[in-house]
Structure formats: C-alpha cells, structure tokens
Structure 1
Amino acid sequence: MKIRRHYLTIRRAFPNIQEHSPFEVTTQELANLLDCTHRNMVLLLKRMQQEEWLVWEPKRGRGNRSSLSFLLSKEQVALQEAQEMMQKQDLNAALALLQQNEESPLVRDKFQEWLSGQFGFHSEVQGKRRTDILRFPLPQAIYSLDPAAIHYTGESHLVNQLYDGLVRIDPRGEQILPQLAHAWEVDATRTRWTFYLRKGVLFHHGRELDSSDVKYSLERLNQLAPLGLYSWVYSAIVAMDTPDDTTIRIQLAEPNEAFLAFLTTNRASIVPQDACTAAGEQFGSKPIGTGPFRLAGNEQGVWILEAFAAYFQGRAFLDRVEVWTVAEEATRENQAELQSFQIMHNARLSDMAAERWQQVRQSGMTCKFITVNEQKKGLLANPAIMAAVDKAIERSELLKLLSGDVIEGVNSFWPDLEENPLQQHAEADFEMIKRELASSGYRGESLVLATIPQYAADAEIIRQVCERSGIPLDISLIPAEQFKGSARMSADLLLFAIMLDEHRELRLIDLYKSMQQHALPDVHDMLEQSIRAILSETDRSLRTNRFIDIEDRLKARHSLLFLYRKHLKTAFHPSVRGISLESLGWVRFRDIWFT
C-alpha cells in the first residue's frame, strides 16, 4: 500500500520522537518530505489518521505549526507492508523491503515468525471438501518450463512434475522402468527401437496421447536445441515412423547404449503437438504435459501447480503446490524462516534444527572441477606451468574457505569406486608453490577463469586461493545458455559442475563431448574413440572402466582438475508422509501427504 510507504518516510524523518508523544510541525514541512502539494499532504494526513497510524491536530493558517503524534512505529508499518506484499504473492519484494530499510534487523524476526505460518502444508476446508496445499520457496528464478529450453535445477524439478517420458529410471540408476511406454524392444543391430504406448493417457488439455506426439517431441527437441543437453543422442536419430497410434519405431545411425537412459531424462519429456504449435515460443510459460500436476498459474514469481485428476498412474494426494521463487541473495539473508518449511531441498541445518527434522542424504552429489582450454595458445600450453597451476589451486585451502558438513574433497567422478579415498591435504605451503611456479617458467601473468553466473561465488574463492599462490585470476561470467559455445574459448580455465546421480553416464559423456571443443587434437581423438567404445558397450561394468580410463588420462596431463564435491540433503518435517526422491534428489510431489 503506497500510503504506508509515505508514513514510513515521515516516521523516519523524526527518529527521536517516541510514539504517542505530540510534537509540532507545519503541513508544508511534511509535504516537502513527500515532494507533494500542501493539499495532497492534508489528504494524506486525514487518511493516515483514519487508519489510526497517527493523530493530527491542524492549526489554521498555512504557516502555523500543527500537532502530530505517531501511533505506530516504523517497524510495525514495515511489517504490515511486507505482510501485504507476501499476501499479494510478492515475497521477493517483501524480503527486499526488509533488507534495504534501516529497521529491518528489528522487524525481520517478527516477519520470519509470521512467514513460517505461510509456508509449508495447509488445509483449507469449504463445506465437506478439504483442499491440501503445499507451499515452499525455491531460491531460483524460473525462466521456462519447456523441456527443450530448461537450464536450471528448479526448472528441471518442476518439469518432472508436469511431464512424463516414455520410460523412467529408478533412483539408483540401475533399472529402466515403463512410463508412457508399457513395453519396448530393440533389434539385433541395437539401432532400431520400438516402443508401445499405454492407451488412454491424457494431456492436461484433455487430448489423448498418441505416437505422433512422441515423434513430434523428439523432432522438436532437435530443432529447438540442436546443441542442447544430450544433443549427441537425439541428433543421431535418423528416422521415426508410427505404424499406429500406440507404436513408434526409432532408427538410430549407430548403436547407442545411452539411448534408453536418455529417454528417462526430462529433456525427452513428451509434449502435445497441437498445444506446442499453438503456443509457439510461449509454451515455456504455458506448459502442457501428461504429468501428475498441471500448471494453473504464474504471477509475481509464484508457480501454482494443481493435481491432474486424470493422471494415468493415479491422482496425487496433494491438491495444489505453490512454488515461490525467491532470489538466492534473499534466501541467504533469511535462513531463519527456512527452518519452518516442511520440505527443504539441498538443506544445511544447524544442530538444533536438525533435531526437529528428518533428513535424507541423497544418493546424488555435485562435483566442481576445472578443465584447461588447451586450444588457447598461451601459458598453459607449457605442461610444466599447467602442472604447477594445478598444484597452486590448493584444495585444502578451498575446503577451508568453503567449510560445511556437506563439502568434501574429491579426485574422481566415481568416488564410490575409489580404492584409495581422498585423504585430507596437509596445510598449504604457498611459498613453496610460488617457487615451483617460478621454476616452471611462470612469471605472474594473469589467467582467465570462465564459468556461469551461478558459480560466481565458487570462482571468487578459487581466485582467492590462486592469489595466495601468486596467480592473478580474472573471472569471466558467461550465461549458461552460451557457455557451451565459442564465448568461453578466450578463457584459460573453465569452471564446471556436474551432478553425479542416476544419469551419471549421460552427464559424463556430455561433459567429455564439451571438452572436445577445447582439447588438443590427440586428446580430442582419444575422447572420441573412448566415447564410441562406451556407447557400443552393453556391459555396464566395462563402460565404467572406460570412463575411469578417460579420467585418469586427463588427470595425468593436468587438463582435468578436481576441486570438491557437495552432498545434497532433503529435510522434511515428521508430519510429511510418502517421501520419495526423484532425479536430482527432489521430492516427488505426487507421493507426499501429511498427517
């Protein structure tokens, strides 16, 4: 409410005046504070008095001093304003109001206490009908819910609730299970795959799924994201035909043992041809799938999902899910209220809070690492300097600066198979590192580290460590959608992260294909031959051995520099039932219910 902000401006102008203590001031002096006319100021004072925020006793004459008494403190009014913003579904604005104003340290606790009652699980009863609602914050912006256009984990999570694929994978990544397809087969060449669709599966707009939608979805993916995530899989589809409404045959250019696993990812979600064509570029904000929830609305960064009653695997227990996207900076500044949410992803709780919650340590983890741009002619073309830079990025110092129970050292994309687990590093000797750099031929020149904006904090910590080793780093932040392109090729070092979960093989192949862009010819060819061997290998253990061989070769030449890994946790209140985790360790909304 704008008039509250006017009151706050006036109240802050008299910080030494206590509530209920009359003082004299002219109406024109107040008008000057708000940069308004005398007449408008009179109207505002009358309105504020009606709201019982102040008492105003005017004196006749424009220059006479009136009597004014404040009844509400600026903290009380700021709290009311923040609460109203929240009720209008604008949590970001509410948090920003509290952070930017001088009274925020005093009023924030009260707001957090009030806010905790707004998030979590609620039931609304109208007559005999009960509506179960889950509301929770997401510390990310949502740009698109089109499976062909998503880039971030928050988007990926919501896409999982809205769409289905032909098949799905179990959380351990060991078994492919039916989903929209109830059965499938592959021919002896392992290049021709046939899928048989369930009958009666409905899209959210009421039309029944058929095989032409599957064909359209895969063709559309190739058109919209020719260089997107896992594009090396779907770009190898050379033909598709649909002999009937429930059968689709897919012809690959060559055998690809990752193909079926790719179809379990949300990138391969099935979309309706008619709705996509009608919506065009707007489909990402008006998504339609076959999933257990449908998008009911999106305003002020609040995404509302409603249970899809006709879902082919049974209706969800929850009626509605409200996902409130919160700026990541605001979330860091407001950790206290997060402890009142009934489901939290990637949670890090204090010991006291952890006692009140049940926590699931997810099977997946994120792994941060650096790769060297070997295509760039410069310092790192010298193997001795490359090895010295690897040592200069002192891992023990990184871990010290990062801290936290979920951060660990890592030396492999397969830490679960390491014979010699990574030991704690000794205290860093930066003077010795500087001497080794000097002996390698390094003379203090700057290096460029490129990464995406989401990893800016990690890049800054790496810069600090390199600075202590005597290496000045310039950080280049490149948007995620451009990072795979030529924009990164002017950098010396590239900071990546990878999720090690049930899709690990797919993610690693995607990474190595990306690394081919900035590898020397012999390394490019080694990667190409190794990837081909992996994709033609039906034995999973032999594929793993080949992955580890690639990793060992890249580490030996110091072109792959492991940094650290982060275990992910999902915390939930004891009242939540039916918790099960899907890809990326997020809770499947369809399964949860409350007591």
Structure 2
Amino acid sequence: MHIAEHYFRLYNHLYTDSSELTWEITISEIANILFCSNRNAKYIIKELKELGWIDWTPSPGRGKSSKLIFLKSSESIFFQLAEDKIANGDFTWCFNQLNYFSSLTQEKFFTLIKDFFGFHENTQNQKTIDLLRLPFPASFLELDPLNEQSAEEIQLINHIFDTVVIFNTKDNKVDPHIAHHFEFDSTGTKLSLFLRKGVFFHNGKELDGYDVKYSYERIKYDTKPSLLKNIFTNIKDISVPHPYIVIIKLFEPNHLFLHFLGSFETSIIPHNIIEEAGKKFFTKPVGSGPFKVTENNGKGLTLEAHSIYFKERPLLDRIEFWCIPEIVYYDTTISTNLSPIQFTELKELEKGAAFLSFNLRKPGICQSKDFRMAIQSGINKVSLAELSEGSVATDYFLSEDRCKNSFHPALAKKYIERAGYGGEKITLVTLEGKQYENGAKLIKKQLHQLGISLEVKIIKYRELWNEEIILIGDIFLLKELAPDNLEIDLITILNSNNSIIKHLLNKDVSEKINRILNLIYWEFSISRRYVQFKRIERLLLDEAAVIFLTKGRRRFLFFSSMDVSLQGDGINYNNLWLKPNT
C-alpha cells in the first residue's frame, strides 16, 4: 500500500469540519485505524513525519497518548501525487483513492484528467502526430481472437487483424476483403478463396494462403470448445494449390460458412511468427489490420497506423488506450466525462433486447413452468422501460412489434399457487452497471409484492461464465444485441461457448434448438432461414425459458472535439481524423 493511502485513511478518520488539526492519540489507536500492527504503525508515522506531512511528538511511557499534527490536507497530497500518476498513465491508483474524498474533490480530479484524454496534435521528430487517447476497462491484454473477449477487446482485434471477407451490414451480404474473390462449387462443399497480392503484416511479411490455412487449422484443432470450432469440424480439408489460392472442402454444405469467415475469431495471423513466439505473440500481436500494436505494458495499449495497409491508411497516426478500473469505465456518468466519444440515441430500435433467462439446469422452483409464467405475468415491462430514456417494452428479440399488456398480478398469484411456491429465496444474477442494477432493483420490488423472495447478486462481466455463478443463479438479467451480421450474431447468442442462454437451458430445449440450427445451415434462402430463427424464439417463449423485457434505441456516436460522427454500436477508428491547427 502506498504511504499516501495510510495518510488518507488516518486523515479521514480523525479530521472533522473544524479547523482542529492536532490530536492526542496512541500508537495502538493508530494501528486500529490503519488495520496494522503497532510496530508497522510506528514505521508509518516515522515515514509520514519524514515526508513533512505530519508532526509527531511521542509521549514517554507505554500506552500514553502522543501529539499528532496534520501539516497538509489529504486533498493537496492527493493532487500532488495524482499529477505524477496521470503523467505515467497510472489511473487505477488515482481512481482507487477517490473513495477517501468528497464529491467536490472527485469533480476536480475529473477536470484534471479530462484534458489528458481526447484528440491531440503532437510533434515528434519534426513531424506532426495526430493522437487520440481513450480510457479502456482492462489492464494487461492478451489479444488472442480465440479467447473470450469483451466488446472493447473485440474492437481492438478488428483493428489489428483482418479476415478474408467482411460482412456488409448495409446491404446484408458478404463482401471481399483479403480475398478479392470467392466461390462455392455446385455441391456447396468446396469453397475457393482468391487472395489479394500486396497484403502485408505489420512486420513487413506478405500474407499468403499458408497463413490462412494455419489460422483456420488453429481454430479447428483448438483444445477449447467454441461455436467456431464446432463449425470448423465440418472442414474436411484445407489446401493451398497456389500462394494466393486457398481451397476449403466441407463434409456437408453450410450456407452460412462464408459468413463465419468474417467473424473476428477467424482473423489471419502470420504462421511463422506465432510458431516462434507462442502465447507471448498475443501480448504484442502482429496482424495485417489498419493499426499495429507498439506498446502493451499493463498501464495501457498503443496502436499506430499501419503505413502500408492494403486499403486506405488510417487518418490518425496513433491511438492510446489507457487502463482504468472496470467499475469506473462502465459507470456511464464518469466515462462520458472522460472520453471524447459521446452518444445520442436514434429513433431506430436496437436489434436485440434485455431479458430474463431461467436456469433450467438448477433444481428448484424455477423448474416449474407455472412459476416462470408467474414471473412473466408479475413483471411490469413498461416500468422497466421507463428506467432508460428511449427504451420500450417488448415481448420479442427479433420483432419490433409493440409489447402486449402481459402485466397481470392477479394471474401471477394464481400461477404461484399452482407452482407450490413456499417462499424460498430466488437468486437473480446481473452485471455491474446502473442499467442492470436499477432493473434488478425494480424487478425485486415488483416480485416482492407477489410474495416472491428475490436476492440480487451483482457480478463482473468476466464472472458470467464461472461454473460457480451458474450453480447459484436461478434467474439471469442480461442484454444481448445483434448489431452486425444478424444471423451469425443470433447463432452466437444461442449456441456459442459464451452463450449464457445455452448454459442455462435444459437438455430437451437445447436439442430442439440444435436441430433447428442444423436446418438453418442447410438452408440457402435468407428469408427461410429467418423463419427458422423465429421458430427458436417461439420455442423459448413457449417454454417460458426466456422473458424478453425491453429494447433500447440504437446509438449514434459523435466526437465532442471534432466534426466527425459515426452511426452504430462500434467505432471504426480508421475514419477518425483531427482537423489541423492553422
């Protein structure tokens, strides 16, 4: 613990609004305040005196009170240290100290660091560097496309690596990317990829078919279970008859296979480098994307423009992502103040929904469909929607149809009686963040009025798939979106290794969903595939396995310090630019 933290704790415990800065206190009392031994308390007091922060006059005799005088306010010491910490990018230490201070001091701190983030024009070696600094909710990053990644990490991966194809969300089709052309044979089991020449990795090596083959075989033979691994088990053979041609043969047709080749997990990596570096490769990965990693030190990650990118070079020269605690980053009030990226909402509804998912694998009252129907009838979705501006109540994930009035407390009580509920406590699991926590609080209040005892457990995002959490949670309050490739996003939500819905469904419902998904893979028609997805949605609703609650509005991203705006849920850093000072 930093010596200043001992000072903050001692100062907070003793100081009042009066001007009195002198106290009669024993070493034992100080040790109790600082949660340490008497011996350590003496060392701490000695160091604080040497720093000139206190004056200490010991009294002779064991157990007698000595005189302690605070010479500096804790706030002045905090800001003195915070300036150096910020200069070195150590934001975590600063945020961890804020609990010791008033809201006014916290506001002064945010004012201090706000200028650090955002767009800057620097000079380096007589050259102008356009720089963007952003907060980031993690520390030391391993950017392996095959590992579980947060939405923010996926965004980084999408800028560091490339895929052979990309999905065009505007036209709802697959477009060429690293592969300038692709074609299936008449059987739908042979895919030929024709690669561009002149696509270079960040280390200067030209990308070829052997890198594509290695990247795909790495997925197929990965030891960790995943949705993509399951899809790639359908690969019979991958061959490279020419450095710029890759032929993939499948056991069975899959009309969504090409779509999967545009997902971030299929990012192409240079086979010779990763074989030499092993897992260390992903702390400073080499891709062919528009930005390359130049720094990853635990305090932050730096990306610089890939000057010979095969498409347009990014307009920014450098992006620095500085690590701040997750609980701070996901507090929208705070993160909005830190970042130049601001959000406003459109009239268009999000593709997706907030929902409750029941744990059908855990023994207990939630095994009763009547009890699940009771909760569905006992929740006022309209009230939940009012918690988030612009949100609307919904009964569906796919459809934008208006919510039917399913709030019937009297009917809910009948279902409760039929289910034989005896007052046992139900655990609702949700994520950190005001959106989730406020929703969980309101649901608890509504169910309490029906006589249902609900305990809310708040967890971090990365804890969601812990087996311990799955075992204790009866109901999960979550949100899923399908903003990009609707079909692949839906399959990921339903059937990926990270799918919480998949982990909570019982064997019978899971098998029914898998049978429908197999029909989807075989189906060539987009419209007929959509009908099958609607069947899955209907199945979940009929089983009362999932209750869809609310839909938010799509977000419109804009940058407060420049004339740039982007529509959507992600950010394409390639197109951002800083208007030069003149």
TM-score range relative to shorter protein: 0.7 to 0.9
Alignment partner, residue 212 of structure 1 = 210
Q: Which moved more, 1:403-412 or 1:161-170?
A: 403-412
Alignment partner, residue 411 of structure 1 = 395
* 2:522 pairs with one of 516, 532, 536: 536
Structure 1 residues 488-507: Cα deviation after superposition (integer angstroms, max 9, x where no partner): 47865455542222222113
In the alignment, is residue 368 of structure 1 matched against residue 345 of structure 2?
Answer: no
Q: Give the aligned length.
A: 564
Alignment partner, residue 76 of structure 2 = 76
After superposition, where does 1:64-463 map in structure 2 within 5 Å?
A: 72-99=72-99, 101=100, 103-126=101-124, 128-140=126-138, 143-172=141-170, 174-224=172-222, 226-331=224-329, 335=333, 338-339=336-337, 341-344=339-342, 347=343, 364-374=350-360, 379-400=365-386, 403-416=387-400, 418=401, 421-422=402-403, 425=405, 430=409, 433-447=412-426, 449=428, 457=437, 462-463=443-444
Q: Distance in 2 between matches of 1:376 and 1:333?
A: 32
Q: Which moved more, 1:34-43 or 1:454-463?
A: 34-43
Alignment partner, residue 483 of structure 2 = 501
- Is 1:90–1:301's contact at 8 Å kept on the other side of the alignment? yes
* 2:551 pairs with one of 551, 555, 565: 565
SS in 2 for 1:554: helix
Letter in 1 for 2:177: Q
- Is 1:516–1:527's contact at 8 Å kept on the other side of the alignment? no
Q: Distance in 2 between matches of 1:446 and 1:46?
A: 55
Alignment partner, residue 555 of structure 1 = 541
- Is 2:183–2:193's contact at 8 Å kept on the other side of the alignment? yes
Offset, 1:212 = 1.0
Letter in 2 for 1:443: G
Change (3 A) 1:293 1:445: same
Structure 1 residues 220-262: Cα deviation after superposition (integer angstroms, max 9, x where no partner): 1233364224333222212111101111011122111211111
Change (3 A) 1:524 1:366: closer
Q: Distance in 1 between matches of 2:10 and 2:465?
A: 48
Q: Distance in 2 between matches of 1:74 and 1:378?
A: 52
Change (3 A) 1:524 1:496: same
Offset, 1:120 = 0.4
Change (3 A) 1:237 1:482: farther
Letter in 1 for 2:423: G
SS in 2 for 1:551: helix
- Is 1:78–1:107's contact at 8 Å kept on the other side of the alignment? no
Offset, 1:79 = 1.5
Offset, 1:390 = 2.8
TM-score by length of 2: 0.82
Offset, 1:290 = 0.7
- Is 1:238–1:251's contact at 8 Å kept on the other side of the alignment? yes
- Is 1:132–1:318's contact at 8 Å kept on the other side of the alignment? yes
Change (3 A) 1:386 1:8: closer
Structure 1 residues 390-434: Cα deviation after superposition (integer angstroms, max 9, x where no partner): 32344345435xx12143322222234x4xx225x58x6646523
Q: CA RMSD in A?
A: 4.2
* 1:585 pairs with one of 560, 564, 569: 569
Change (3 A) 1:191 1:361: farther
Alignment partner, residue 452 of structure 2 = 471
Q: Which moved more, 1:554-563 or 1:5-14?
A: 5-14
SS in 2 for 1:123: strand
Q: Distance in 2 between matches of 1:491 and 1:25?
A: 51
Alignment partner, residue 353 of structure 1 = none
Change (3 A) 1:116 1:480: closer
Q: What are the ranges of 5 or more consecutive residues in structure 1 without an aligned counterpart?
A: 348-357
Letter in 2 for 1:498: E
Q: Distance in 2 between matches of 1:116 and 1:531?
A: 48
Change (3 A) 1:283 1:339: same
TM-score by length of 1: 0.80
Offset, 1:263 = 1.1
Letter in 2 for 1:552: R
Structure 1 residues 79-111: Cα deviation after superposition (integer angstroms, max 9, x where no partner): 222222222211121111122x1x342321221
Offset, 1:459 = 5.5
Q: What are the ranges of 5 or more consecutive residues in structure 2 without an aligned counterpart?
A: none
Change (3 A) 1:394 1:179: same
Letter in 1 for 2:484: E
Letter in 1 for 2:451: G
Offset, 1:18 = 8.8
- Is 1:576–1:592's contact at 8 Å kept on the other side of the alignment? no
Q: Distance in 2 between matches of 1:114 and 1:376?
A: 49
Offset, 1:193 = 0.6
Structure 1 residues 508-562: Cα deviation after superposition (integer angstroms, max 9, x where no partner): 2234446677656664554333222222222212211221122223312322321
Structure 1 residues 103-151: Cα deviation after superposition (integer angstroms, max 9, x where no partner): 3423212211111111100111246311111011134566531101133
Q: Distance in 2 between matches of 1:524 and 1:47?
A: 64
Letter in 1 for 2:392: E
SS in 1 for 2:356: strand
Letter in 1 for 2:393: G
